[in-house]
Amino acid sequence: MVFNQEQYYSAFIGFNETAIIIQTQSGNGLLAIDYMYQPHVLPLDIDDNMLGETLLKSLSSSRTLVLDSEEIIDFFDLTKGKERYENWVDYLHQSLDYKSKKALFKNMMSCSISLFNGMIEIAPSRHVKLHAWEGLDDDKTITLPLDSTSDEIGKGLRLAMSYCL
C-alpha cells in the first residue's frame, strides 16, 4: 500500500469479548466513521500479521475531504450522520448476533489510530459510557514506523488494546 507522507490517515478500533472491529475514518481536522467502507469484523484470535494488514487496509481507505466542498458538508450533515451511525450499529448488532445494541456496546473498548509522515500512532481509550470513550495519557500511546511489518503493527495494536479501560 502506498501512503502519501503529507496526508493524514485515520481508523477506529472497537473490540469486546466477541470481536475486533476496524473502521476507516475520514474528514479534514474533524474525523468521523467513513460509511463508504464496511467495518472489518475480525475474530479475537486473528493472528497479528492479519490484524496489522487489516489495519493498514483500513488506513489506506481514509480520505482527506476538501473543506467547504459538497462532499464534506454531506459527510458531516448531522441528520445523515445520525442515520448512518444507526445503520452502522445495526450492521454490527446483527453481524455479531447481539440481543441488543446495549449489549454490543456494554464492554466495547476502543483505540484511535492515525498515520502521518510515516508514523502510526495507536491511542487507547477509557470507556466512560455506552457510546462514549475518552483518551488515556500520552504515555499509553503506541507509536510505530510505517515500515514496520504487519506482524509488528498487529502486536502494537494488541499492546494498545491491553491498555484500554
**131: confidence class by pLDDT, cuts 50, 70, 90:** confident
- Mean of the pLDDT values across residues 116-122? 97
Give the pLDDT confidence score for residue 64 in this predicted structure.
Answer: 97
Span 24-57, pLDDT tens digits: 999 999 999 999 999 999 999 999 999 999 999 9
Cα(2)–Cα(10) distance, integer angstroms: 15
Domains and CATH numbers, the chain: 9-163 (3.40.1590.10)
Cα(122)–Cα(125) distance, integer angstroms: 10
